[in-house]
Chains A and B, each alone.
Chain A
Amino acid sequence: MPRQQLQQQPPQQEPLKGEAHGGDANVVPDGDEAMEEEVDQEGYASSTPTSSLTWISWFCSLPGHEYFCEVTEDFIEDEFNLTGLNSMVPFWKEAMEMVLDVEPEDSLKIPDVSIVEASAELMYGLIHQRYILTRFGLNAMAEKYEAGQFGTCPRVYCLACHVVPCGRSDMPGLDTVKLYCPNCNDIFTPPSSKFQGVDGAFFGTTFAHLFFQTFPQFAPAPYYSPSGLSTSAVSRSPGNSTQPAFVNPNPHGGQKPAAGKVYTPKIYGFRVSERAKSGPRMRWLRLRPEIPGELDQVDWRGRWIGSDDDEYEEDDDEDGEHHMEDFDPVGHNR
């Protein structure tokens, strides 16, 4: 839907609830023509103070807004994509005009530009949450991801794995943006305070995980065998060179070798015993099995299969024991 449409149909934009969708249906078919017109208009629009810079590019270039990608105008102009948002954003029409760089229809009605600015930011953020779940949005974010624009995981043994922005809620105003690391499957506070003004809902709860489902080549596999000891995992891949031949037997799973080292607390070089009060209690949080098959030893309720509620069945216990121990001798001092 072109900008003119917004200007031509002000009455339909007035009500907060989605009456405007009637108009929507009329608009979509002639989208092509409208696009051409819009391109023409762009030349005109550039006479605004920000000149060639669109509101969207300007917004995305602000400090703290580095995680945003630019939502295409045709995505915003398709009202179907905005279903339900107009009830969440005050001064919807004015905000829309601002985001799309349309000259305000009747500037008298705008009480204060800063209010509209806040609305425009909220609207853009909520549209952004939806946009980055589309193919175009995911691709745009993948580009930023590969360039490392979201930063790296602060956890030492994730070995600077790239992270993606992520919200803890899809509703705005609840929590700020966080960073999700696909290697430790955990979320972190962004390192700079400039991101503390960015709402997590502008990225949403789904994006980070849909992203790694869409691009499994970026997602670390759920198992890890310390190189050298690896026999089982490598046997799946031909040749001895693990790196190029890495294949996760689960075709829908992560296709990147994981950084699976887990920190081992030591005092004077001796591991702190789990029997100590201050002994390790959280290794499980970062642990990965050595071979993918081990994941199947746990049923959907989270119990060891065949252990019949007794965690001390020889088989499992030995397996686990072997597991916990094996990380350390390799790691010397690490």
Chain B
Amino acid sequence: MRRAVDELSTGSDSDYSNSWISWFLSSKGNEYFCEVEEDYILDRFNLTGLNTEVQNYTQALDLITDNLDDEIQDNEFRGSLDVQARLLYGLIHARWIITSRGLAKMLEKYKKADFGRCPRVLCQSQPLLPVGLSDIPYEKSVKLYCGRCEDIYSPKSSRHGSIDGAYFGTSFPHMLFLVYPAMIPPKSGPPDLTLSLSGSVRGDGGDGARRRRAREDPESVAEGVGDSVSTVSAALKAERYRPKIFGFQVHEIAKLQRWQEAVRDRQIGRLEELEERGVI
């Protein structure tokens, strides 16, 4: 409904530049979404099963693709259709962002830190990625995944906190790091800004940046995670906070942290053995 007003105010501008999707993406609170290409939406195969999830599926789809008849004057219907169109777009979006083209688009947003930065102090403002805790709509709101501490956080603003997590899905950030292993953040040091400055093509820019760093500091090759670099013992580089009272560690917490680090070392031992045997 707000859209109708927007359209009126924008006057006689061409409707093409002002598509439903670009309106949706530019409205406040929708900063996490990326643009789903029209080709993807128009291929019915990609929408399999969504017709049972969304009421007035056909009209909602028409609305998203700007094919809806302007004759619909019933404001109430228009309003409910808007809700359904958002739901439909969200569900398509969840599928789109784990395709190779969708991943590339989200990667661009990730490099611009459009999803915010990790609130954990020792993650040094690592950019985050959106993630759902469920793939079914209306269950859980969207969370943010940090590739450095590998944990999930609630969005700072309530505008983002009320977005449905199913519009991003449970797989997205993990799929992104699976497809772009060079993007796996290093466990220490500031986030690699050279990568965010490199162009849309991952290959050259990223490699160049790594080579440059390698010249400066021989150790940084192991630090930055590249295609050829093992992440087996990456966790050893992770910094952690140690609570202290007048400089002395707190007994129970120190004990827990020792245990946690022993668990870490055991995993590293396990993985190193696998690596030696050539399994990974």
How far apart sit A283 and B235, CA to CA, in the bound complex (Å)? 10
Residue total for A at the interface (Cβ-Cβ under 8 A)? 64
How far apart sit A277 and B185, CA to CA, in the bound complex (Å)? 12
The minimal Cβ–Cβ distance linking B25 to chain A, given in whole angstroms, is: 25
Q: Is the CB of B250 within 8 A of A213?
A: yes
How far apart sit A252 and B255, CA to CA, in the bound complex (Å)? 13
Known contacts A205-B244, A282-B238; A333/B135 CB under 8 A = yes
Does A306 sit at the interface, judged by CB under 8 A? no
Selecting from A18-26, A64-72, A94-102, A152-160, the interface stretch reads A152-160
Q: Is the CB of A222 within 8 A of B252?
A: yes
Our pick among A178, A250, A274, A294 for the contact of B271 (Cβ within 8 Å) is: A274
Q: Is the CB of B150 within 8 A of A210?
A: no
Q: Is the CB of A272 within 8 A of B178?
A: yes
Known contacts A294-B259, A320-B266; A267/B244 CB under 8 A = no
How far apart sit A191 and B156, CA to CA, in the bound complex (Å)? 6
Contacts of B152 in A (CB 8 A): 155-157, 263
Interface centre among B121, B145, B256, B257 (most CB of A within 10 A): B256
Contacts of B143 in A (CB 8 A): 156
Q: Is the CB of A275 within 8 A of B279?
A: yes
Main secondary structure of the interface of A (DSSP, over half): loop
Kindly identify, within residues 221 to 280 of chain B, every residue whose CB is under 8 Å from any CB belonging to chain A: 225, 230-231, 234-235, 238, 240-241, 243-247, 250-253, 255-267, 269-271, 273-274, 279-280
What 1/0 flags go to A156-170 for Cβ under 8 Å of B? 110000000000100
Q: Is the CB of A281 within 8 A of B259?
A: no
What 1/0 flags go to A263-300 for Cβ under 8 Å of B? 10111110010111111111111111100001101101
Contacts of B145 in A (CB 8 A): 263, 265
Given A278-B184, A287-B260; 10 other pairs, CB 8 A cutoff: A154-B156, A206-B246, A222-B252, A222-B253, A281-B234, A282-B238, A285-B151, A311-B265, A312-B273, A324-B267
